[in-house]
Structure 1
Amino acid sequence: MANGKKYFGTDGIRGEVGKGVITPEFVLRLGWAAGRVFSKQGRGKILIGKDTRISGYMFESVLEAGLAAAGCDSLMVGVIPTPAVAYLTRAFHCDAGIVISASHNPFYDNGIKFFSADGTKLPDEIEFAIEAELDKQIVTASSELLGKARRIDDAHGRYVEFCKSTSGYLNLEGLNIVLDCAHGATYDVAPKVFRELGATVQVIGVSPNGQNINEQVGSTHPAALQKAVLEHNADLGIAFDGDGDRLLMVDHQGQAVDGDELLFILAKHLKQKGKLDGGIVGTLMTNLGLEVSLKKLGLELVRANVGDRYVMEQLNERNWIVGGENSGHLVCKHVTSTGDGIVAALQVLCALRETDQTLAQAKTGMRKFPQVMINVKLAKKLDVLALPAVQEAVARAELELAESGRILLRPSGTEPVVRVMVEGEDVTQVKSVCGSLAKQVEQAVANT
């Protein structure tokens, strides 16, 4: 992998069930390896949660067996959002937390994510240590040292109370909301949070069957929520992804409000309250419109690499509190330790309540720039950005856009393509520049 690791990507280990490493045999070894690493300071204690995929039952069992073989105890919390595992890992003083989920991917994929004892993503050195153990033969601890497993029956209630507390127990009476839970991990807890805070709540995507997670619902398929908001004459809608760490919102007119626009609403509100110094962390894909709008507020936008891990690194380095991705993975560090769809939604609702604005009104201070992206296929592994012809083509395109646009060439981490992205004020110019640049990149690749 590009990060120098054999198995871990930017967000754990993920793939199609039954293929590659996403097999019962590998996950058993992964549980043992993690148990070995986390129990080196004594008897380890690991919290395990999952989303609604049918394969979660299988991987939950083998993970627990692997941990037990290494002498590590397991606390099982069942189906629960990924950020809930981060919170509960801290609350139960565990050595680590594990989530069985492939987030917004279809049901036939699955993966394993880890959290540290303080509810953050694992540092590189721990992931390298787990990988080192994975290459060893499993050695079962002696019988008196084997780990035990127990279920935590009140995990959902604890997380619901935590979410409510992050908003200062915001009063949502009089607010009509539609929630789309993607047939995923938020299907039970999210409606409880918003109803207990007083909102009138309509729900879709709350009937998981193990195979319908993210299927035409959730933050990656907003059409279902847009339709439901209009049908119910709701004030707004909130969609989560399969594991609950992302969100997308829909205003009363049925218009989608993405992560960049939600970041603008949060930043503007926190700035007005005197709680935001410095700026916001976005990514290479963050819309130029957000950068321009933040500048008008006297706030800086710093772009991290794509991935919430890199957003969090920049937030920690600068001691800033808010950042995220246009996909809706938002981090509110002043109230929690990781990206959390429910908590981020509540922070947006706090801003709307305190300013007495609708979602549509709150986002008007930001105009998204038109953005066009074309994928150029690669027949072989190639450092496209190092090709002189590509560098020259990018320089010419940047000259044409002048100060009114931005160009990004980004190799995909999952497909043999390079993404050519252009954004700017004029949509006609953006389309023209992107199309021309993509052809030049394609030609340069063909000539190597």
Structure 2
Amino acid sequence: MSDVISFGTDGWRAIIAEDFTFANVEKVAYAMGMYVRNTYHRNGAAKVPLLVGYDTRFMADRFALRCAQTLITMGIPAKVVERDVPTPCIAHATQHEPTAGALQFTASHNPPEYCGIKYIPHFAGPATDDITAQIVSHLNDKPDDFHVDDVEVPRFDPTAPYLASLKELIDFKKISGARLRIGYDALYSTSRGYLDKMLKEAGVNVTVLHDWRDPLFGGGMPEPKYQYLQDLVKTVRAEKLDAGLATDGDADRFAAIDEGGNYLSPNHLLCLLTRHLVKNHGKKGPVVRTVATTHLLDRLCQMYGLDYVETAVGFKYVGEQMRLLNGLIGGEESGGVTVMGHIPEKDGIMANLLLVEMMAYEGKSISAIWQDMVKEAGLELIYRRADLKLTMRTQKGLMDRLRESPMTSLAGLPVTEVGRKDGLKLYLDHHNWVLIRPSGTEPLVRLYFEGTNVEQVEKVMADFNQQVDKILAEFDSKPVMEAAARH
């Protein structure tokens, strides 16, 4: 059965009632219990509890309860949250008191038919590969005759300590004096009653959308991308608000809309927040980004005299470097951000609050602040995403060929360097680059492009597609290239 349970970059996710069943949840819970027993409870150590949380997804609360009962039956102390909670909130709870970490039942921004389990160790960041490997090694350990007892499970509420930590991190006094008018789309997520509450307490006039639990997410996706934020865009424009904010299903990712109703990508926001921390707070430290994140961040680091570290895709790598280096800010192009002095886990609530704080400090709109930053940097980069739909076999063949013989030029620009940290990254002249990454779990090759102007980026994309077509013709396979996002 363990072949059905596959841990990706952020835990195990599967379709409810197909692979995500009570039986498989018990298997994962048992494996988790074995890991806790061998790691936290060995050699007579105190039996610290494993925390269990869940988001607003269908049956997530029931799955969380069964998980906790499995652990307690094994002799592993466990307790469950009183209501659905944001992932960063329960992550914070792992270091608020001695714990063996937390299991969060969430599929984050995936479609509503999915649920998932994510393990957050006691250091409040994503589990690293070595930890995940140890858990996976126990997936077949649950005995056939093991029976989960219908025991009473202790409950707890991690909200107050988490909110207190945000009040220490964010300058709410500054926000209070700015008289901002903000739109907030909860997207039916766990962030309702967190982000909106803190902004209202600071005197912000908040217009709230979709702040109730709906396991179907209003027929859309709990993902803060432009196509799912149309109600927020309309509200910002109609009510002439200063900005619109949003989080994903478990509130660990974020997005924003400027005063004109224009979508601001995570790449934009990561750069703005980096500038804010340096300019308005005088902070210094290494900046951590993934291999797929904008290189405009590199230019800012050069301007401010900061080191930067590039990691593989996945916030577990960003979080690990933030812990090891005491980084200033760490982020990824998909919307995950954390900062110095906070947990090494992505936090969409914190990131949105920091964005509002930035507006209060600057006394300007987000679009005006962006233009200031671009002028200071002397550079603006265009970012594009696309996916190649290929069979797993063809995907492997393409990547093998590209690794053996990388492209030497694209749209007349020579390839000056080839990076192999995660997939294949082709560095071109004039700030252009291309990243090719196989999905690993889906029949997709993920493509990332960045350059100094739209025309050049589109030429690079077109030439790349032509060269890939020639390679795939040898495999008798025709790819489907789809635009994934425009950042």
Length-normalised TM-score, structure 1: 0.89
Measured after TM superposition, the shift of residue 297 of structure 1 is 3.5
Q: Per the alignment, do residues 217 and 29 of structure 1 end up closer, same or farther by CA in structure 2, a change over 3 Å counting?
A: closer
Aligned residue in 2 for 1:302: 309
C-alpha distance in 1, partners of 2:399/2:58? 41
Measured after TM superposition, the shift of residue 275 of structure 1 is 4.4
Measured after TM superposition, the shift of residue 196 of structure 1 is 1.6
**Structure 2 residue 74 is matched with structure 1 residue 80:** no
Equivalent of residue 189 in structure 2, options 167, 184, 192: 184
Report the 3-state secondary structure (helix = DSSP H, G, I; strand = E; otherwise coil) of the residue aligned with 1:209: coil
**Structure 2 residue 246 is matched with structure 1 residue 239:** yes
Q: Per the alignment, do residues 214 and 336 of structure 1 end up closer, same or farther by CA in structure 2, a change over 3 Å counting?
A: farther
**Structure 2 residue 31 is matched with structure 1 residue 26:** no
Report the 3-state secondary structure (helix = DSSP H, G, I; strand = E; otherwise coil) of the residue aligned with 2:49: strand
Measured after TM superposition, the shift of residue 95 of structure 1 is 1.3
Q: How does 1:157-196 map to 2 (within 5 A)?
A: 157-173=160-176, 174-196=179-201
Corresponding residue pairs, total: 441
Aligned residue in 1 for 2:278: 271
Deviation by residue 1:397-425 (Cα, 9 ceiling, x = unmatched): 54185224112222123422223433212
Percent sequence identity over matched residues?
Answer: 26
Deviation by residue 1:299-336 (Cα, 9 ceiling, x = unmatched): 44433222111212333343322010122211113233
C-alpha distance in 2, partners of 1:224/1:25? 39
C-alpha distance in 1, partners of 2:300/2:289? 13
Equivalent of residue 399 in structure 1, options 414, 437, 441: 414
* Partner AA of 1:156 in structure 2: T
Deviation by residue 1:49-79 (Cα, 9 ceiling, x = unmatched): 1111112033112212211121122221130
C-alpha distance in 2, partners of 1:176/1:423? 33
Q: How does 1:59-78 map to 2 (within 5 A)?
A: 59-77=63-81, 78=83
C-alpha distance in 1, partners of 2:165/2:414? 50
**Structure 2 residue 439 is matched with structure 1 residue 412:** yes
Report the 3-state secondary structure (helix = DSSP H, G, I; strand = E; otherwise coil) of the residue aligned with 1:134: coil
Measured after TM superposition, the shift of residue 389 of structure 1 is 9.5
Report the 3-state secondary structure (helix = DSSP H, G, I; strand = E; otherwise coil) of the residue aligned with 2:109: coil
Q: Per the alignment, do residues 71 and 81 of structure 1 end up closer, same or farther by CA in structure 2, a change over 3 Å counting?
A: same
C-alpha distance in 2, partners of 1:59/1:303? 36
* Partner AA of 1:137 in structure 2: K
Measured after TM superposition, the shift of residue 97 of structure 1 is 0.7
Q: How does 1:138-287 map to 2 (within 5 A)?
A: 138=143, 149-152=153-156, 154-173=157-176, 174-212=179-217, 215=220, 218-220=223-225, 221-272=228-279, 275-287=282-294
* Partner AA of 1:105 in structure 2: N
CA RMSD of aligned residues (A): 2.8
Aligned residue in 1 for 2:463: 436
C-alpha distance in 1, partners of 2:271/2:142? 50
Q: Per the alignment, do residues 5 and 347 of structure 1 end up closer, same or farther by CA in structure 2, a change over 3 Å counting?
A: farther
**Structure 2 residue 401 is matched with structure 1 residue 387:** yes
Measured after TM superposition, the shift of residue 147 of structure 1 is 7.7
C-alpha distance in 1, partners of 2:248/2:173? 23
Report the 3-state secondary structure (helix = DSSP H, G, I; strand = E; otherwise coil) of the residue aligned with 1:149: coil
Report the 3-state secondary structure (helix = DSSP H, G, I; strand = E; otherwise coil) of the residue aligned with 2:414: helix
C-alpha distance in 2, partners of 1:39/1:358? 52
Q: Would the aligned equivalents of 1:213 and 1:242 in 2 still touch at CA under 8 Å?
A: no
Deviation by residue 1:213-262 (Cα, 9 ceiling, x = unmatched): 68256512232222111122211111000000011111212122222222
* Partner AA of 1:277 in structure 2: K
Q: How does 1:75-154 map to 2 (within 5 A)?
A: 75-77=79-81, 78-138=83-143, 149-152=153-156, 154=157
Larger deviation: 350-359 or 176-185? 350-359
* Partner AA of 2:464 in structure 1: L
Q: Would the aligned equivalents of 2:50 and 2:78 in 1 still touch at CA under 8 Å?
A: yes
Q: Would the aligned equivalents of 2:57 and 2:112 in 1 still touch at CA under 8 Å?
A: yes
C-alpha distance in 2, partners of 1:169/1:251? 21
Q: Per the alignment, do residues 200 and 417 of structure 1 end up closer, same or farther by CA in structure 2, a change over 3 Å counting?
A: same
Q: Per the alignment, do residues 117 and 214 of structure 1 end up closer, same or farther by CA in structure 2, a change over 3 Å counting?
A: farther
Q: Per the alignment, do residues 329 and 214 of structure 1 end up closer, same or farther by CA in structure 2, a change over 3 Å counting?
A: farther
C-alpha distance in 1, partners of 2:18/2:221? 25
Deviation by residue 1:250-295 (Cα, 9 ceiling, x = unmatched): 1212122222222222222222357443542222222233333443
Larger deviation: 69-78 or 380-389? 380-389
